[in-house]
């Protein structure tokens, strides 16, 4: 497995990580725990050293799963987790709000350490920017945890340029986690130039467009009501009809490269910058194998130019998040 470096602090991880969210939440039915441990172990056996979780995923269940699965590999893998939601105090409708107050960050860190069964959190992200808490206070709280040896690296997720700069001035940011893929390229405008300037890595979630870019979803696909994708505007039947043009492009390139659409989508991301690490999620061993195969797919400069030219003629139909979820993203 090839390796990449995130940030100026020298955090080395596998070129492709594993997003673990779907193993406990978000995609309909919760997968069998024993099966998910097998998937995580298989990832380690194949060279994956970077695993992504959060207390928010399944309300602590995901961290517990990842902690149990990776305990035998302590010190050999990098585990990233997140803080920033107030899970213990949901609103009247059950909605979970933000909470990045320093005292809450410290509390979350202690609990995450226990669930993950580690002595230090490798990478601790702020899950979403909290407009009620100055980012300097957030960065300062994580800086204290780093000085105490409880956290190794600080990260942000879905933060805007000014927030990134202000946080970085207090405590160097190792990585920004952001959605980025062939059909969500907004980070290229201002985010990625800022990261390159400051020496911050980019960890990309939903690199396969929430499964759409694999070519396994079409306008006839029906998502379970408990699957978060049922509320994603760009995955409505009407939007899918338009957006299948992206899949058609991937299929054409994949055929030339003897690869799959998913592998081309991931290889394209990795070809953009050497400090970008995608973290596709899966609950299936065959999909894990397929995704990892992307590391060995080489796209030439000519390939990248041709893809860019084709993308310039395509327009995505629909927003990437529902209106309520979009409110959680601070740009």
Return the pLDDT at 233: 87
Average pLDDT over residues 103-117: 97
Is 289 inside any structural domain? yes
Res 225 pLDDT > 80: no
Return the pLDDT at 331: 44
Residue 171 CB neighbour total at 10 angstroms: 21
Kindly report, residue by residue over 271-309, the tens digit of the pLDDT. Answer: 999 999 999 999 999 999 999 999 999 999 999 999 999
Per the structure, how many domains does the chain have? 1
Domain that holds residue 220: 3-326
Kindly name the residue from 57, 125, 180, 205 that is annotated as catalytic. Answer: 57
* Cα–Cα distances in angstroms (integers) from residue 158 to residues 49, 164, 173, 317, 324, in the given order: 23, 10, 13, 21, 15
Res 201 pLDDT > 80: yes
Instruction: Read off the pTM.
Output: 0.93
Return the pLDDT at 59: 86
Kindly report, residue by residue over 147-188, the tens digit of the pLDDT. Answer: 999 999 999 999 999 999 999 999 999 999 999 999 999 999
User: Which of these ranges, 15-24, 68-77, 81-90, 222-231, has the smallest mean pLDDT?
Assistant: 222-231
Is 273 inside any structural domain? yes
State the burial class of residue 225 (Cβ atoms within 10 Å of its Cβ: 0-12, 13-18, 19+): exposed
CATH number at residue 60: 3.20.20.100
Return the pLDDT at 138: 98
CB-CB contact of 20 with 50 (8 Å): no
Res 328 pLDDT > 70: no
Average pLDDT, the chain: 93
Average pLDDT over residues 53-60: 90
Residue 92 CB neighbour total at 10 angstroms: 5
Is 211 inside any structural domain? yes
Kindly report, residue by residue over 149-160, the tens digit of the pLDDT. Answer: 999 999 999 999
- List the one residue out of 255, 179, 266, 257 whose CA is nearest residue 214: 266
Average pLDDT over residues 116-140: 97
Helix ranges (DSSP H) in 180-260 = 191-198, 237-257
- Judge whether 57 counts as a catalytic residue: yes
Is 331 inside any structural domain? no
Return the pLDDT at 42: 98
- Work out the pLDDT band at 325, boundaries 50, 70, 90: low
């Amino acid at each position: 497995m090839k390796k990449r470096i995130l940030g100026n602090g020298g955090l080395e991880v596998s070129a492709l990580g594993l997003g673990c969210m779907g193993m406990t939440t978000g995609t309909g039915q919760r997968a069998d725990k024993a099966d998910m441990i097998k998937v995580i172990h298989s990832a380690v056996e194949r060279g994956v050293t970077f695993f992504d979780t959060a207390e928010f995923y399944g309300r602590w269940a995901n961290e517990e799963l990842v902690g149990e699965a990776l305990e035998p590999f302590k010190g050999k893998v990098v585990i990233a987790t997140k803080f920033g939601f107030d899970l213990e105090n949901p609103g009247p409708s059950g909605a979970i709000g933000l909470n990045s107050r320093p005292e809450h960050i410290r509390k979350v860190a202690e609990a995450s350490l226990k669930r993950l069964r580690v002595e230090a959190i490798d990478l601790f992200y702020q899950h979403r920017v909290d407009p009620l808490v100055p980012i300097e206070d957030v960065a300062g709280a994580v800086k204290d945890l780093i000085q105490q040896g409880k956290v190794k690296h600080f990260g942000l997720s879905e933060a805007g340029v000014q927030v990134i700069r202000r946080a970085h001035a207090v405590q160097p940011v190792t990585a920004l986690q952001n959605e980025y893929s062939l059909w969500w390229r907004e980070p290229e405008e201002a985010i990625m130039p800022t990261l390159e300037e400051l020496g911050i890595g980019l960890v990309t979630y939903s690199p396969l467009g929430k499964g759409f870019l694999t070519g396994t979803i079409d306008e006839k696909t029906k998502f379970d009501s408990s699957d978060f994708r049922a509320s994603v505007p760009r995955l409505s039947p009407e939007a899918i009809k338009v957006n299948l043009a992206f899949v058609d492009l991937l299929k054409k390139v994949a055929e030339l490269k003897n690869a799959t659409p998913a592998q081309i989508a991931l290889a394209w991301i990795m070809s953009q910058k050497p400090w970008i690490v995608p973290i596709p999620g899966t609950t299936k061993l065959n999909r894990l194998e397929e995704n990892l195969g992307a590391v060995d797919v080489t796209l030439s400069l000519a390939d990248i130019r041709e893809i860019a030219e084709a993308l310039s003629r395509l327009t995505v139909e629909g927003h990437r998040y529902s209106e309520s979820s979009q409110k959680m993203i601070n740009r």
